[in-house]
Structure 1
Amino acid sequence: MHQAVGLITLYLLFLGGYVHSQEECIKTSVVTCDDCIKSGPACVWCQQLNFTQTGELESVRCDTKTELLKRGCAPEKIVNPPSTFSKNLNKQLSKGTQTTPPVQIQPQDITLELRPGEPYTFEFAFKRADYPVDLYYLMDLSYSMNDDLKNVKNLGIELLSSLKKITGSARIGFGSFVDKTLLPFTDTNEEKLKKPCPPEENDCDAAFGYKHVLNLTADGDQFKAMVSQQRISGNLDTPEGSLDAIMQAVTCGDEIGWGDSTRLLVLATDAGFHMAGDGKLAGILEPNQGSCQLDKNKMYSKSNLWDYPSVGQIARKLKDNNIQPIFAVTEKVADVYTELSKLIPKSAVGVLSNDSSNVVKLIVDAYKKLSSKIIVTHDNLPEHISVSYTSSCNKDDKPSDQGICNNVGIGEEVIFKVTVKASTCIDFKNFTIAPLTFSEKLTVRVKTRCRCDCDNEINNRHKHCSYNGSVVCGTCSCNQGYLGQRCECSLGKKDEAALKAQCRKDNGTECEGRGDCECGVCKCHFSEGGKSYYGSHCECDDEHCEKYQNFLCGGNGDCKCGVCKCNDGYEGTACQCKKSNEGCMSRSGSVCYGRGRCECNQCVCERGYKGPKCEKCHTCPLPCPKSGNCIECLGFKKGPFEKNCSVSCSHLNATLKVQRGEKGNCRVKDQEGCWMSFTMNEQDGFDKYFVDIFDKRECPEAPNVGAIVGGSLAGVALIGLLILLLIKGIMYVKDLKEWKRFEREQQRRKWAEADNPLFQKATTTVANPTFTGDS
């Protein structure tokens, strides 16, 4: 019994797998060949004449190829547009020369014409060339890196020499960082800002965020000379502003001099890093904008104004600029940067020795590892398109959103299979495919095949169509005045039963019960009033419109298909009102304050406005918080909208007003943390306002550190004195109680009157040796 159940189960599983493995054409609302091939990749169309029987729906022409062949469709009459692939640019892979760059990917530009839902696979080749290397050394100059700086000063020549042994040419640059110069990150005491190092350290730089020191250069001596001028600095907390520095090093390409090369960014540090959101500890609320902000001294000018960037921002900027980071860190923070590396593709982590003496070997090893790992992915992927990859370097590779090959040597070629699928019909779209951190990209142009190419004859009097039409993909397209599956019906002739459905509106009564269906066209009857019904389904008449004062359309208009068409000067559903705006005029002279339309001399308000003239909106508060950037540029010529203030803030009619003690109905903070006060009132219409901006801002004063510290010390001293007095008082009270108790005991003491039997008086007897006792 159990064996029988097992066999049945296996059979059902096999049958289910077989059924699901078959092609299936799921079709809905199919009338034409174009409709059919849009339904799915398994759907094909039979354009064979006489394939359908009289009265049979043309949708039976759409099915799987297997089913159509079973039904008798000739193979050559099956329309099945295939997906196609063409190469627009296909340069051969090459090493390159001194005058021409290498070609590392092939092809470079293709066009795919895809059937919706049908995946298409093509090959994408990559051959690694001997590319020059640009290396930017970004160093933490907090005090704990003092010993490391001494070794880095001699790093340039050795590092250039080691890289040139691997690649044809190399350049090196230098930048340094510490942290934001605000509490709690840095001591903001004036003396500490000038010298944040310990007192015994004389060679110390002022506190700073990030500074660019040396452009990329092939001159190792210049690197040594510039880095030798650098001095250590310091801050308060352990994490550093590493992400701030990376963002500037990546985005300031022109200043640093990144070239057409393999780009490496080495971050050397012994501490963790601050992330987006940490800036709030110092009162920084403006998010990082991800752009280059170096001043004339090549210092990061927005260090104390913008928050730290997020890890996601850093990852995107590194990818967009084809830069590979190497985190050269000490052992105590290696785990932190290993986790960070997992979030940044094409990055590596190396552990520094205590004095960074192994940094050259670390960088060279990381470069070899990064450059030999090829990761192919895509950018700007349009909606409804999916892409997956497999590679030739891994036989067990499963399709994924990236193609990965490890240990690819210089001159070695690898092949990636790329599968692209469009889930629906789309307009012409583009996206790119490229190996990460390489500038070369494959442009993929995608369009969909959603129209049939049939064997149509240019003949509008085809025999198959009763000489009254032409054949399109096996079906008849009738000439004007003819209807039917074979164009056999002309206007005035009786229609077949199958055509009667065309006379039913929304599957209702044939011709709405007001006419006869002839060849799919309604011939309308006359109404009781002697007028003809009309419309495609006889749904219209000119006798059933709204009445006013017992007159059709109030006697001020004509009834057309159940709707009143009013004469000039009248309006309303029954033309019952004279056109007038008198009752809709606002105080400003506009109609309904520009927030509605005037109907029958009354305002019909829009967008939540209410009142007789649409003057109020309880759900439309003044946009004070959203107007901060505009107020800053209109009133004080500052802020992010400064360059295009008139365009971005055209909805505000602003006036600068002298502050004389009055307050506005709005207050917002600007980028410097100052309060701006202004009065905002609505204009007529939507989203337009009058604004009076007061010319004075309320800026917070810097904290008086001396007063705070002095007050704190005085408070501590006072608390200590009070504690001592309290202890002294407690001891005095306790001693007083003990003394009184002693006095009471003394008063109660009584001495015994009898002699103590143990006590004997002292008696001294002296014997005269010459006395005998005789008288």
Structure 2
Amino acid sequence: MDITRSFSFILLLLSVIVAVSEAQTFNCTGSYCGECTIKGPDCAWCRQLNFTSMSRCGTVTQLMNAGCPSESIVRRKRSRVEILQADPLEDGGNGRESVQLTPQHVKVYLVPNEREYNNFSISYKVARNFPLDLYFLNDPSFTMRGLRTQLQQVAQSISDEINKTTTDYRFGLGTSMDKVALPFTRTAPTHKQNPCFGTSFLCDPPYSYIHRFSLSNNVPGFISAVNAVNLTANFDSPEGLFDGLMQAMVCGSKIGWRSKARRMLVYATDINFHMAGDGRLAGILPPNDGKCHLDASGMYTMAELQDYPSIGHLRKVAAENNVNVIFTIGGDTRSQEEINRIRTRYYDRLAAILPGAAATELTPTADNIVTIVSENYRRLRETVVLEVKDLDTTDIQAIRFFSSCYSDVPNEIATCTGLTVDRQVDFMVIIETNLQVCPAMRNLTFNIVPQGSEDRVQVDVEWDCDCDCEKEGQVTRAAEYCNRNGDLKCGICDCYTGWTGAFCDCDETKPEIEACSGGNSTEICSGVGECQCGMCRCENDDVSGKYCECDRTKCDIPSGKDERCGGQGQGVCDCNTCRCQGNYYGSSCQCNDDLCRNENGTICSDKGTCDCDVCRCTAGYAGRFCDRCTAANCTENPCSSQRQCVLCTAFLEGTLDQTACQEQCAHVEVVSVIDPADNFCRFLTGDGCYVEYTYDIVNGTLAAVRVRGTKVGCVEAANLTTIGVGIAGAILAIGVLLLIIWKLLTMLYDGIEYSKFEREVQNPTWERQENPIFKECVTTFQNPVHETNMNGTDTEKGMM
């Protein structure tokens, strides 16, 4: 079947759009044929031997102008479609399997940077005897008892009605109520045994969902299963049918869904539903896992352990399992207004989300169930909606469908309705891509399926990026042109291991790891170069050495400098390491010991070590050059050891006599002014005065002490006593004064209050005031239809 001409104008239009919107200049480059030809629609490869006029990759015009013969030019491949399976459309019946969609398997070869669209056609036709699986999921509450009665009575009528369109049908049954947990269901023992306790009805114990009858063409067996369903009940208003709906869709082997059949599920209730999140009311937090949890008896076992499924989850499962849900809303006790409100508010919205779903209303006696089933089956049967499934890649930009199912002119559409067994509809499938290079994954598969059906077109996609002259059959193995050391592919040599060069004449049989690593490394050319004919070719100017082992960028730049290792006079980079000059040292030659020398030329006063320009003093010493002893027991600390010399020399005080003072304190000098910036010392003497002095350290030895000739900060003891007595007396006087002021103020306030009291006693106005809580025993009312005249007499008002 060929429908290409009916869509030719569409492809022409799309080609024009692509030519205008995607016009660009392609740069034809590549080191081998396949890499070159995929760069653009005009790119080609010259396979002629010894072609050196230009690069082998270029446009056809460029290669021909450069002298490459036309027969040696390998042109770009075009995308194409191959039909692998195309069974004809078949109505089925009499042992034959129905076929509604053809072809069933195609393979599409795509080429990057393709400007033309890749397309193929598929056809769909309603089969006369396409299999139907019909499953009833009912609410077994008291208000839905009419549906059970009707199903018993009209099951054969439903069978007869469906038999008009297909002879291959099966029925199944399940009932669903709610989770057996408060607040959804009463959990008292009496109610768990009979949820209708307190009424005249004997009900089955409460349950969430029970699968009662697997899909079968045994109509009497189905009727018996319906008749065996007893009433049950829950506590709150909404029902938990979502649990049953999920299990009915995912438990395929237990329900009996056939792999190739239209699957219809009739969901019958008269109230709205619980959904994901409501389980928290009963402390049920784990989300629904969307897996089958039916025991041998068909009962759902995870109702009280998992939350209700979400609407999004149901939509995903319905699409994956191709189940078309029909919501039928009605009941014995609901008014038509209530039924309509529930349907429009809840189930119309829900049906709009689920694929192929619909919502309709039951009559109070449910006698229209036959019509509901037959009309919805006819609706699903006469409608085709094409969908793309299992396409998990960004390499394909879009898949578009065109059809003329509604008119003689094809339109971009994936849905056709009003189909009959005598009418075939054709679609053109167009695959759009935007890849400019060949993807890492050269093959992928997706499916085109009619919504709600197991029919499908399997589409295998292969990115055809290699030239034919690179494939087996056109490759010359161990070619003489390649010195028998490589294969000839598309005019160039593909050298065997151990050989390189344009003609595979460079012997690299010696292991590269040995030739280009010196045997001391596991990396060839240190990982930053290529081994060519046993020699390293480093990748950039910063890398050097026989094995590319030296990298200038590994040498640091000192702070405040612009060159690595500090530059001239400080250090130079010598194969990954700074080689310092003069007194500089450190990883980047950033350190110099000269900054640790004191004025006498010693490093850290021989009391520490120089750590990159900073003295690290030994214990008990401090200062920039470690020239000050700081330990508590340090006998050499001038601030403590020189106190007696300072006292005897400057003030003839202390424990040293004159002879000892002259012998031990010759280095002490009395001056009038000292510089506190020097090594400064200060201590308090017994007479309340401070003595100040400084000292010099030379080569770690105390050299001189300079003491101020006068004491400072002195305070006489007598003055101290006088000051102390004066302060105490002042505080006492202030306290006495405050007490006197307080006493005077209280006396004044008491006098004012007493005068006020005497005035109130002489003029008692409270006796003439009315008690606010006293109520007269006589109440006077004014007649609203009378009014009093000026003389005090009543005058009757006119009444309208």
Question: Is the TM-score greater than 0.5?
Answer: yes
Give a deviation string over 1:114-169, Cα, whole Å, max 9, x none.
11243421112223212132211111123332333333332312211111122113
Letter in 1 for 2:381: S
Distance 2:267 2:484 in 1: 81
Q: Aligned residue for 2:417? A: 406
Distance 1:523 1:268 in 2: 78
Matches within 5 A, 1:17-96: 20-21=20-21, 23-27=23-27, 30-40=30-40, 42-47=41-46, 57-58=55-56, 61-63=57-59, 77-96=73-92
Structure 1 residues 49 and 224: alpha-carbon distance in aligned structure 2, compared to 1, 3 A threshold: closer
Matched-pair contact (CA < 8 Å) for 2:262–2:453 = yes
1:352 to 353, 359, 362: 362
Q: Aligned residue for 1:266? A: 266
1:416 to 427, 451, 473: 427
Matched-pair contact (CA < 8 Å) for 2:249–2:317 = yes
Matched-pair contact (CA < 8 Å) for 1:46–1:73 = no
Q: Aligned residue for 2:400? A: 388
* Partner secondary structure for residue 468 of structure 2: coil
**CA positional deviation for 1:294:** 1.8
- The answer to whether 1:106 aligns with 2:102 is yes
Matched-pair contact (CA < 8 Å) for 1:96–1:103 = yes
Letter in 2 for 1:115: V
Distance 1:232 1:375 in 2: 39
Matched-pair contact (CA < 8 Å) for 1:25–1:43 = no
* Partner secondary structure for residue 130 of structure 2: coil
Distance 1:469 1:162 in 2: 74
Give a deviation string over 1:199-243, Cα, whole Å, max 9, x none.
444243332211122222334333333322323222233321121
Structure 1 residues 100 and 207: alpha-carbon distance in aligned structure 2, compared to 1, 3 A threshold: same
Matched-pair contact (CA < 8 Å) for 1:295–1:301 = yes
Distance 2:373 2:257 in 1: 18
Letter in 2 for 1:151: Q
Q: Aligned residue for 1:7? A: none
Letter in 2 for 1:102: S
Give a deviation string over 1:525-578, Cα, whole Å, max 9, x none.
xxxxxxx9524xx7769xx999xxxxxxxxxxxxx9869xxxxxxxxx9xxxxx
Q: Aligned residue for 2:323? A: 323
Q: Aligned residue for 2:112? A: 116
- The answer to whether 1:254 aligns with 2:266 is no
* Partner secondary structure for residue 166 of structure 1: coil
Matched-pair contact (CA < 8 Å) for 2:140–2:232 = yes
Q: Aligned residue for 2:347? A: 337
Distance 1:248 1:120 in 2: 41
**CA positional deviation for 1:377:** 2.0
Q: Aligned residue for 1:369? A: 379
**CA positional deviation for 1:457:** 8.7
- The answer to whether 1:435 aligns with 2:447 is no
Q: How many residues get paired?
A: 501
**CA positional deviation for 1:88:** 2.7
Distance 2:74 2:230 in 1: 79
Structure 1 residues 24 and 394: alpha-carbon distance in aligned structure 2, compared to 1, 3 A threshold: farther
- The answer to whether 1:534 aligns with 2:534 is no
Give a deviation string over 1:686-745, Cα, whole Å, max 9, x none.
xxxxxxxxxxxxxxxxxxxxxxxxxxxxxxxxxxxxxxxxxxxxxxxxxxx9998889xx
Distance 2:17 2:121 in 1: 31
Distance 2:537 2:369 in 1: 93
Query: TM-score with structure 2 length normalisation?
Result: 0.54
Structure 1 residues 445 and 53: alpha-carbon distance in aligned structure 2, compared to 1, 3 A threshold: same
Give the alignment's Cα RMSD to 1 decimal: 4.6
Matched-pair contact (CA < 8 Å) for 2:495–2:504 = no
Distance 1:21 1:433 in 2: 28
* Partner secondary structure for residue 148 of structure 2: helix
Distance 2:20 2:69 in 1: 26
* Partner secondary structure for residue 162 of structure 2: helix
Q: Which 5+ residue runs of structure 2 have no aligned equivalent?
A: 1-15, 330-338, 508-524, 526-531, 539-543, 557-573, 578-586, 588-770, 778-800
Q: Aligned residue for 2:462? A: 447
Distance 1:48 1:27 in 2: 19
Distance 1:86 1:410 in 2: 28
Matched-pair contact (CA < 8 Å) for 2:48–2:68 = no
Letter in 2 for 1:438: S
Structure 1 residues 100 and 124: alpha-carbon distance in aligned structure 2, compared to 1, 3 A threshold: same
* Partner secondary structure for residue 363 of structure 1: helix
Matched-pair contact (CA < 8 Å) for 2:51–2:68 = no
Matched-pair contact (CA < 8 Å) for 1:155–1:224 = no
Matches within 5 A, 1:276-295: 276-295=276-295
Matched-pair contact (CA < 8 Å) for 1:33–1:62 = no
Distance 1:489 1:206 in 2: 88
Structure 1 residues 221 and 69: alpha-carbon distance in aligned structure 2, compared to 1, 3 A threshold: same
* Partner secondary structure for residue 154 of structure 1: helix
**CA positional deviation for 1:311:** 2.0
**CA positional deviation for 1:268:** 0.9
- Aligned-pair identity (%): 30
Distance 1:257 1:478 in 2: 60
**CA positional deviation for 1:46:** 4.0
Letter in 2 for 1:120: N
Matched-pair contact (CA < 8 Å) for 1:115–1:450 = yes
